[in-house]
Amino acid sequence: MNLKISEIMDFLPEDHALAMYYEGRKNKVDIDTDEIINRLRIKIQQPCRIYRLQWKQAACILIAILALVSLNIPAVRAAVMDIVDKLSSTVTMITDEVMDYVGKQLEMQTYTIKSPDGTEHTYNKNGEVIPNIEIIRQFPENEIIKESGYRGDIPIDISMFKITDSKLPQIMIPNNAIAVFTDERGVGWDLRAGDTVTISFEKYPHEIKNQTLIVGYIVDGTVYGVEMIKDIKGEYALKIKSNGTYNFCFIGGSSDPIAIKSGTIEIKS
């Protein structure tokens, strides 16, 4: 639909028209609103280029306001909550879509506390139990971890990430989720006794200070050797004691997702 600038005045609320007309005027005489809108139309059509530019700018602003008003706000809210739910339940690559959530507390509507037997109890943001919600969580399907020996409870997610050129990916790790690192083939590293592994990393700063990142290694399907690191920059060093196939992992130990900015895995024989 094409509209002339003067026709846009038909969409302008009366109080906005009055404010535009009386702006800069010392004496405010009593004039009918319809008459004011007609006068504004005439002003817009006047040949003064500077004056018309100002009104055209105002018209553009008005169009933008009308567009915002017409947005489906519930749909926008739902889309935001979908992202929040994703970030709070799965390990996620940091992309433009989620970058605005890096370093910020998520506005989660509920949170879940899990017991070692896998039973979950869901609470609202006020700490009240939500009735009739009790789930037995299954261990996430994956090819590498069969049990998380570091703490005994069941992780909410296990995601695999291939390491290329020794560089860690930029990821967000929610509470009790595990990011597993593999070699370029998608499997573990064949290491021998005496080899050394050094994992260096940097987190994005977060509104929650001292987020706990849990770092460990995986062998024979179980997580071992975990260290809890709260500093923004950290290092995990491991000397291999026996031959085997090893993977390494990050586990979320904070109420909000931990965002990994950069890092490396260095292996020396």
Rg (CA), the chain: 29
Bridge-based pairing of strands 157-162 and 171-173 is unpaired
Residue spans per domain, the chain: 5-69, 83-268
Report the candidate in 163, 162, 182, 169 with the shortest Cα–Cα distance to residue 246: 182
**Mean pLDDT, rounded, of the chain:** 76
Looking at the whole model, is its pTM more than 0.75?
no
Q: What is the pLDDT of residues 60-111, one digit of tens each?
A: 666 655 555 555 555 545 555 678 888 888 999 999 988 988 988 876 555 5
Q: What is the pLDDT of residues 155-206, one digit of tens each?
A: 889 999 999 999 999 999 999 899 999 999 999 999 999 999 999 999 999 9
Q: Look up the CATH architecture of domain 83-268.
A: Sandwich (2.60)
Give, in order, the Cα–Cα distances in Å from 154 to each of 120, 129, 138, 181, 191.
10, 20, 8, 19, 28
